[in-house]
């Protein structure tokens, strides 16, 4: 069956800064942040399973009552590659808009629900909140890689409270974390870390999105950091005078050390740049400095290098991958520091993170244990890469789209035909397992452009959505006959080898086979793959696989979308495939059994040297085609010794000749996607039916992915080498 198409609103990843609102409500911050809010409805809209699948179920009536009638609903959140903002489309099923996304990587997620591009609303059943974004809710997916982000055991964490102080411009507020067992008087004071927010980020984002309290609590409980006081302030309070006022207020209110050796400063985005600038211009204020995705290159005076190197014990830089706006800036900054002779450390390029809180959480976890103590490790984090140069896709209009880098980053761009568009996104199978997300492009002159990634090596398909209208990327010459707005591309790599073209002249042949359909009353076409070295005169006829497409598709899809030729070519050349002929017929028929047995099979036998022996015949298909293959098995047990169904259920047990199936079938092999495959429930129910009947079958478990080509390609890869070997 064909997949659905979803549209959503373009959403920027930066958040609005609400400094004034935060200041006015600072005294209530602790209660707002740490007290669960009552749900506004009984049934949760979101459920997260233990195996990390997020299930969304949004009542259509609620959407209608709050934003009016809509034709589409999406969940917008940080679900995209590199944790970028993306839109996940829900499907209307009865009175509910629903969908399953996953498996998600462990970590913190934020989202909102949007109808018809612009009508956004908060999930009223989720008691979490993001102060700077009232429509956002959050959820946490646990896992070892996110262990520092989990809530610390009750009673073991530190305390967060607001601090109000006076400046020359009026009253301001910050947030202060004190460690477990903090002692306000007596003994030696505590060192202090000042965390700066960036332009467009709110102070509270450090807690709501950055999970800074959890990070501090867990690292402190584990003994991984020195006990310290952490002060979180916004971008407006990070200039010299404002920062001086804040530091005085902290010193007056908390038991902290005041000497530079016990002072640290770090920040995200512009906050990171300002923290760095402070260290470079006044190095006797802070001994430890961190810049997380800093967006500016401060002036670096070579004359100050000796003093900076003497006073600053640690200057550590962080950046995400090429989707992080700080990527190129960080390269220029490193060059500038190197020329000036300023010593610094670089955490390396985070290969899977962009310029967002998921990356900055990792930065903070790396940075905190380095403060106010001697450490032996000064290199990059494990798995982080080198930064050898700036990332610069070819100038707009100079290269076919998409532009694919060796490490899996893909740059899309439109033609100039959409200069007046308001929202342009790319809808593609880039979510976990091959599910579909819509990721935003940005205006670039009279074009729209964006870089997505890193994408794993595999086969991808996409379409542009321009102001809620599906559009073909006309700069991409690939085509999909049954879906005129789709384009395709391949990310090369070892995992995608079987989907790549074999060297010219080494593969098999794909030919058109025209036949008369007595069912449809017209001439129809099939595609036929013959193996390399196919010999129509050899003594032994070739075994044959009849491979069927799904609903809404036709005979071209297994070649254009399923990469059947590439898969079969590689497996033959690898010696994994019994030489066979594969017939891909048109399954869009009112009576498929007749179409197959009266039209497709006789024509194939007349045109190709293939066997009519049941032991040398196989039938398989995806979705509707899988149902057709199982229908042939039920009606004509034993005529095809090998039967397989991809994402299709067996149906009821009525009228099934179990003995004939078991005696006449050498292999009945079944496949299905994971929870994101909408036939998963009915498929699993059909296994119970088969078990109850006593039908012998093979099922090795789910294939990770949805009701889509990522799954079905893997199914064919698994099936083909198993045929005709028993």
**Domain tally, the chain:** 4
- Residue 236 is predicted with a pLDDT of 58
Judgement on whether residues 615 and 714 belong to the same structural domain of the protein: yes
Residue of 221, 697, 226, 710 whose CA lies nearest to 459 = 710
Judgement on whether residues 187 and 119 belong to the same structural domain of the protein: no
Judgement on whether residues 81 and 170 belong to the same structural domain of the protein: no
Judgement on whether residues 593 and 709 belong to the same structural domain of the protein: yes
Q: Which of 492, 514, 545 is the last residue of a domain?
A: 492
Non-local CB neighbours of 621 within 8 Å, separated by 6+ positions: 547, 548, 549, 550, 587, 627, 628, 629, 644, 645, 646, 648
Judgement on whether residues 204 and 301 belong to the same structural domain of the protein: yes
* Three-state secondary structure string covering 561-608: CCCHHHHHHHHHHCCCCCCCEEEECCCCCCCHHHHHHHHHHHHHHHHC
- Residue 8 is predicted with a pLDDT of 28
Judgement on whether residues 256 and 288 belong to the same structural domain of the protein: yes
Judgement on whether residues 86 and 173 belong to the same structural domain of the protein: no
- Residue 396 is predicted with a pLDDT of 86
Residue-range definition of the domain harbouring residue 418: 403-424+448-492
Judgement on whether residues 503 and 476 belong to the same structural domain of the protein: no
- Residue 346 is predicted with a pLDDT of 98
For position 298, which CATH number holds?
Answer: 3.40.50.1820
Task: Establish if 376 belongs to a structural domain.
Answer: no
- Residue 56 is predicted with a pLDDT of 97
Length of the chain: 726
Judgement on whether residues 708 and 616 belong to the same structural domain of the protein: yes
Provide the phi-psi class of 495: left if phi over 0, else alpha when psi is between -120 and 50, else beta. Answer: alpha
- Residue 398 is predicted with a pLDDT of 85
Whether omega for the bond prior to residue 165 falls within 30 degrees of 0, making it cis, is no
CA distance 398 to 375: 48
Judgement on whether residues 486 and 523 belong to the same structural domain of the protein: no
Judgement on whether residues 700 and 597 belong to the same structural domain of the protein: yes
Judgement on whether residues 583 and 477 belong to the same structural domain of the protein: no
CA distance 548 to 620: 6
Where the chain has pLDDT below 70, the residues are 1-41, 235-239
Percent of the chain that is helix, strand, coil (3-state, to 5):
30, 25, 45
**Sheet of strand 46-48: strand arrangement:** 46-48, 54-59, 96-101, 91-93
What does the pLDDT look like over 605-657, one tens digit per residue?
Answer: 999 999 999 999 999 999 999 999 999 999 999 999 999 999 999 999 999 99
CA distance 673 to 332: 45
């Amino acid at each position: 069956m064909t997949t659905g198409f979803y549209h959503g609103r373009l959403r920027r990843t930066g958040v609005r800064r609400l400094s004034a609102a935060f200041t006015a409500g600072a005294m209530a911050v602790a209660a707002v942040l740490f007290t669960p809010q009552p749900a506004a409805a009984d049934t949760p809209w979101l459920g997260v399973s233990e195996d990390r699948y997020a299930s969304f179920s949004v009542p259509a009536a609620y959407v209608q009552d709050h934003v009016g009638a809509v034709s589409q609903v999406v969940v917008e959140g940080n679900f995209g590659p590199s944790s970028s903002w993306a839109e996940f489309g829900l499907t209307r099923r009865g009175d509910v808009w629903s969908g399953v996304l996953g498996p998600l990587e462990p970590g913190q997620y934020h989202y909102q629900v949007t109808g018809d591009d612009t009508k956004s609303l908060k999930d009223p059943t989720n008691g979490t909140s993001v102060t700077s974004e009232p429509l956002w809710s959050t959820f946490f997916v646990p896992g070892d890689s996110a262990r520092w982000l989990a809530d610390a055991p009750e009673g073991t964490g530190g305390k967060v409270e607001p601090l109000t102080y006076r400046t020359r411009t009026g009253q301001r507020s910050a947030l202060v974390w004190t460690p477990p067992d903090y002692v306000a008087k007596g003994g030696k004071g505590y060192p202090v870390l000042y965390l700066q927010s960036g332009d467009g980020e709110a102070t509270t984002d450090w807690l709501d999105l950055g999970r800074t309290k959890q990070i501090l609590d867990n690292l402190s409980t584990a003994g991984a950091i020195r006990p310290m006081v952490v002060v979180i302030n916004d971008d407006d309070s990070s200039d010299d005078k404002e920062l001086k006022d804040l530091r005085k207020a902290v010193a007056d209110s908390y038991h902290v050390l005041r000497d530079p050796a016990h002072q640290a400063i770090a920040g995200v985005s512009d906050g990171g740049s300002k923290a760095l600038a402070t260290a470079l211009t006044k190095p006797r204020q802070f001994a430890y400095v961190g810049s997380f995705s800093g967006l500016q290159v401060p002036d670096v005076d070579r004359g100050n290098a000796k003093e900076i190197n003497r006073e600053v014990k640690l200057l550590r830089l962080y950046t995400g991958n090429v989707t992080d706006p700080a990527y190129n800036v960080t390269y220029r900054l490193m060059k500038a520091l190197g020329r000036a002779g300023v010593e610094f450390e670089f955490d390396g390029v985070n290969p899977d993170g962009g310029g967002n809180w998921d990356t900055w959480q990792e930065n903070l976890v790396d940075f905190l244990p380095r403060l106010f103590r001697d450490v032996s490790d000064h290199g990059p984090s494990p798995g982080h890469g080198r930064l050898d140069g700036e990332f610069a896709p070819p100038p707009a209009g100079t290269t076919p789209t998409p532009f694919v880098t060796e490490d899996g980053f893909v740059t899309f761009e439109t033609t100039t035909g959409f200069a007046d568009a308001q929202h342009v996104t790319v809808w593609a199978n880039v979510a976990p397992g091959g599910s579909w997300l819509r990721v935003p492009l940005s205006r670039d002159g009279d074009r729209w452009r964006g870089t997505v990634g890193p994408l794993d090596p595999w086969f991808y398909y996409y379409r542009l959505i321009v102001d809620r209208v599906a559009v073909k990327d006309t700069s991409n010459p690939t085509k999909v006959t049954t879906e005129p707005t789709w384009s395709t591309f391949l990310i090369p790599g070892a995992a995608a080898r079987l989907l790549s073209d074999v060297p010219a002249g080494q593969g098999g042949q794909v030919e058109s086979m025209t036949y008369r359909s007595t069912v449809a009353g017209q001439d129809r076409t099939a595609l036929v793959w013959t193996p390399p070295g196919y010999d129509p005169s050899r003594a032994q006829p070739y075994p044959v696989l009849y491979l069927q497409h799904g609903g809404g598709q036709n005979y071209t899809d297994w070649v254009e979308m399923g990469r059947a030729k590439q898969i079969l070519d590689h497996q033959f050349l690898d010696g994994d495939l019994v030489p066979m002929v594969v017939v891909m017929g048109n399954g869009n028929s009112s009576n498929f059994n007749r179409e197959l047995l009266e039209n497709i099979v006789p024509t194939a036998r007349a045109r190709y040297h293939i066997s009519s022996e049941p032991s040398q015949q196989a039938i398989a298909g995806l979705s509707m085609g899988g149902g057709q293959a199982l229908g042939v098995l039920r009606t004509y047990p034993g005529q095809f010794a090998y039967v397989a169904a991809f994402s299709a259920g067996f149906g009821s047990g009525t009228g099934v000749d179990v003995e004939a199936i078991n005696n006449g079938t050498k292999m009945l092999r079944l496949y299905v996607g994971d929870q994101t495959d909408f036939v998963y429930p009915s498929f699993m129910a059909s296994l119970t039916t088969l078990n109850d009947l006593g039908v012998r079958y093979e099922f090795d478990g789910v294939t990770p992915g949805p009701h889509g080509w990522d799954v079905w390609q893997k199914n064919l890869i698994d099936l083909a080498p198993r045929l005709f070997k028993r």
